[in-house]
Amino acid sequence: MCYPATLVVGDLIKALDSGRYDLDETAVIITQTGGQCRATNYVALLKRAMVEAGYACTGHLARHGLVGKPQPGFGLNWAKFLPLALAAVLLGDCISKFYHSAAVREIRPGEAMSARSISRKGERGHIPQCGG
């Protein structure tokens, strides 16, 4: 058994066991690599673990890239999803690059984190200038 697979599937089952989620409204989504990595076994392992843990009726979805087998009860409105996903990837990458380059150069400790927090919350506020 692949150790990372055990951790991933175990964390998913632990999340379902936590009681934080409405199991009637919850689905577990996992990706497959399809390559030589043993991650292609995750889906079968996840299905088996969910059945054995008593979550056979909880939905699960396995994705391989952007295409995959049709899954009952799961629909995705691509016209709504793609712009949001593209914005998340582009803006997330920009914020990450900004934060990691600013954090090592900040004059007052915590300013980079503050600016990152403002950008993540979507707030518009004063971002301190150097020396100001």
Q: Say what the pLDDT of residue 128 is.
A: 45
Can you tell me the mean pLDDT for 6-26?
88
pTM of the model: 0.51
Can you tell me the mean pLDDT for 38-67?
76
Model confidence at 57: pLDDT above 70? yes
The answer for residues whose C-beta is within 8 angstroms of residue 68's C-beta and 6 or more apart is 61, 62
Give the CA distances from residue 120 to residues 17, 55, 87, 96, 116, in Å, rounded to whole numbers and listed in that order. 30, 34, 13, 10, 6
Can you tell me the mean pLDDT for 4-33?
84
Q: Say what the pLDDT of residue 20 is.
A: 92
pLDDT tens per residue, range 60-116: 777 655 555 566 666 667 788 888 888 888 888 888 888 888 888 888 888 888 877
Model confidence at 21: pLDDT above 80? yes
Tokens of 78: 């691509």
Model confidence at 129: pLDDT above 50? no
Model confidence at 17: pLDDT above 90? yes
CB 46 within 8 A of CB 15: no
